[in-house]
Structure 1
């Protein structure tokens, strides 16, 4: 448990760095003299690097183990955060966020692999939700601590001090983390598990599994509304479009994070006990999110009532736990030696959707003179696309999962004593 906790701490720091721009968006616009499209490029580039690294990282985790990949990730995201603190130009700041995104990309899949090595498979859904829950606590550091430090001490001091967290977890990681319990070492990878041919086969075999593709689309459809809100556009939307103070807006962002943590525990318990609840939970979360967004954007008058904004933020908090359901479709569809690759494919989904929406909102805000109602309507387009793919794949994935379960039970019966 303690070893796995080190990996989760690495992920916690990564989330803190990833979401730090969410409370500094308006400050970044002033510091680098940029418009909405240029501001969204920060997060788009960060997520582009993150999404693009998912399959390579999955392959690395399958081949090298979690500790080596996490070590490289911590070094990269810490250097990126320091670089962002010292950046005076827009170009240097972009490069720093790209480096941060690359390091961030190496954390969550590695933590999932640690969980599969240190806990029994039946606890997989709950362990994954707890990892995501603790990671989301990093968001609280951004909304509660970094926002206040930024106001009190300024840009450079705030981001530089936050980067010290990366150094601390790197030291702990190098000293204490191990890939698996003693005496439970996995068999060495065969010599042929290298080279381009093996990589292509690993990716192809994972993609052919309907459960992997369904997991990717579940992650795609559920994660991005909250990610876009927390990562960049939530604070400007609440301040500029809804007329709230930055302090009140920060409290609502904190509510999203707290709701995420509470719902994560509930979803994890439900799925661990009732596997059939996966699809209803995912689709139900998407439906409720869409309804609340529609009510907020279509509310007559200039501002939606505070009660509606509170409910919206609570519902957005369920998006993160719902996205974790995607991994629960991919996990039973793939053998242990392919878990990292399959998780990488799934994780690409939500971040691709987030990146697309961040770009769309930034472009539409500039094109419409900061009309947030039109800009945020882009959320519905991606939700509709994702739901159509979930409905198309769900029966095939469940049928394939049942077939694999039957085969595994037959093999277990015929294993010699």
Structure 2
């Protein structure tokens, strides 16, 4: 990679991460509107969870195709398409008057959202020196998560004071505004505005994906991303607000403040984890396991607390769960160091599927468990129903931790064999 002026690299990154921030905002904008959407479209908790389910299903399903598209057509082209799709979809959601219309709009919100993050990761790899990539990757996640903060606070205000139509039309209008600096300043690499990969046939694409998945580091990154962020995603995207308001009997303002702590956690933990990963790359999965253990411990205390959990405990739990977002970036760093440059976006797409599949499963399960445990149906959810629903997370944590440990053993065995074959007597505790 040709060295790029630092100012130009940060400018390109800033434009790209602004689009990602908007994508997170669009993704999270339904979280504070969940109860309003229930009344607006006359739907149950299971139907409400379908909004997020379809959006995440599309997002997760698009990750591998988007990774292949970025490897082939470059970040600039794919990011432009994602921005346009998101803006059109949010406009459709603002104007939707029926449940099916709103569902279709959220599907396309998920499609546009899917075309952002991998593009920005590719820009980071193209524009920054290797020693800075872990830190800038964490900063990408941090700044992007400000979109969830804007959804938790300004979007709550807009829905209350401006109404459904105006709030979502304003959100849709941000896309065309960002399109201008993107077209002016964004370049795929220091050497070219548009960077194109080799055209591949379908069999070649299949071989690329199989090669990426065959790397143990890609599989390890997949399970790290599966296990660390889904709890915070579930809270931020749909069920946090109802849980705090109806399950823990907090005010609307208090619930919104708690959700904003997810962003605070990203801002605080991201640079720290980026520094730790850069300094101790051989212990990345151990760091991810520590984060998961902390999240599990906090949720356990909340769910076992007699009566309603105190505000400080809920705040601590949300903050610690929010650290799972920066923790999930460890998965991308493992994938980056395990794959050649021409497969980087494809491997990132495979890894990025994981966390959203876990979040999708959790969101749907919480909705159906709430309906199951609520007497007589309806939306008057009991404290016990929420405790049942939130306990579902333990199944995915158990699966994820087991797979991280399994794939780490595979990676360690491979590194040990490589060390012996190369005559290197220093076999470190890797990953």
Range of TM-score over shorter length: over 0.9
Among candidates 279, 283, 287, match of residue 293 of structure 2: 287
Cα distance in 2, alignment partners of residues 80 and 165 from structure 1 = 12
Greater Cα shift, 123-132 or 202-211 = 123-132
- Report what 2:378 is aligned to: none
The answer as to 2:335 corresponding to 1:330 is yes
- How many angstroms apart in 2 are the aligned matches of 1:372 and 1:24? 19
- 1:397 Cα deviation after fit: 2.2
Query: For residue 397 of structure 1, what is the aligned residue in structure 2?
Result: 411
SS in 2 for 1:219: helix
Give 1:43's match in structure 2, choosing from 43, 47, 52.
52
Distance of 1:69 and 1:106 partners within structure 2: 6
Among 262, 279, 284, which residue is 1:278 paired with? 284
Distance 1:280 1:265 in 2: 18
Correspondence 1:198-217 to 2 at 5 A:
198-217=204-223
Paired residue for 1:126, among 113, 117, 135?
A: 135
Which of 365, 382, 385 is residue 399 of structure 2 equivalent to?
Answer: 385
Give the secondary structure class of the aligned counterpart of 1:21. Answer: coil
How far residue 122 of structure 1 moved from its aligned partner, in angstroms, is: 2.2
Between the aligned partners of 1:177 and 1:8, the Cα distance in structure 2 is 11
Residue number in structure 1 paired with 2:249: 243
Distance 1:209 1:239, change over 3 A: same
Residue 76 in structure 1 maps to residue 85 in structure 2: yes
The CA deviation string for residues 179-210 of structure 1, in whole angstroms up to 9 with x for no partner, is: 00037997x645xx411111001100000000
Confirm or deny: 8 A CA contact 1:270 1:277 kept in the other structure: no
Pairing 1:376–2:390 present = yes
Higher helix share: 1
Equivalent in 359, 363, 377 of residue 358 of structure 1: 363
Match of 1:164 in 2: 173
2:226 maps to which of 220, 229, 242: 220
CA distance 1:126–1:399, change in 2 (3 Å)? farther
Q: Within 5 Å, give how 1:309-320 maps onto structure 2.
A: 309-320=314-325
Instruction: Using the TM superposition, give the Cα deviation of residue 398 of structure 1 relative to its aligned residue in structure 2, in angstroms.
Output: 4.1
Assess if the C-alpha contact under 8 Å between 2:57 and 2:357 holds in 1. Answer: yes
- CA shift, 1:20, in A, is 0.4
Task: Describe how 1:81-100 pairs up with structure 2 within 5 A.
Answer: 81-100=90-109
Relative to the length of structure 1, the TM-score reads: 0.94
Structure 1: give runs of 5+ residues left out of the alignment.
Answer: 411-417
Q: Structure 2: 5+ residue runs without aligned partners?
A: 1-9, 375-380, 425-431
C-alpha distance in structure 2 between counterparts of 1:106 and 1:132, whole Å:
15
- Does the CA-based 8 Å contact 1:211-1:398 persist in structure 2? no
1:117 corresponds in structure 2 to 126
Q: 2:354 is matched with which residue: 349, 353, 362?
A: 349
1:399 to partner: Cα distance: 4.7
Partner of 2:7: none
| Closer/same/farther in 2, CA of residues 43 and 64 from structure 1, 3 Å limit | same
3-state SS of paired residue (2:339): coil
Q: Equivalents in 1 of 2:323, 2:226: separation in Å?
A: 14
The structure 1 segments of at least 4 consecutive aligned residues displaced by more than 3 Å after TM superposition are 183-186, 398-408
- 1:15 equivalent to 2:21? Answer no
Q: Specify the alignment match of 2:37 in structure 1.
A: 28
Separation of aligned partners in 2, 1:280 and 1:394: 9
Q: Distance in 2 between matches of 1:397 and 1:351?
A: 24
Note if contact 2:186-2:193 (Cα within 8 Å) is conserved in structure 1. no
* Aligned residue pair count: 406
Aligned residue runs from structure 1 range 175-186, under 5 A: 175-182=184-191
Q: 1:296 to 1:153 in 2, by over 3 A?
A: same
Instruction: Tell me the CA shift for residue 110 of structure 1.
Output: 0.3
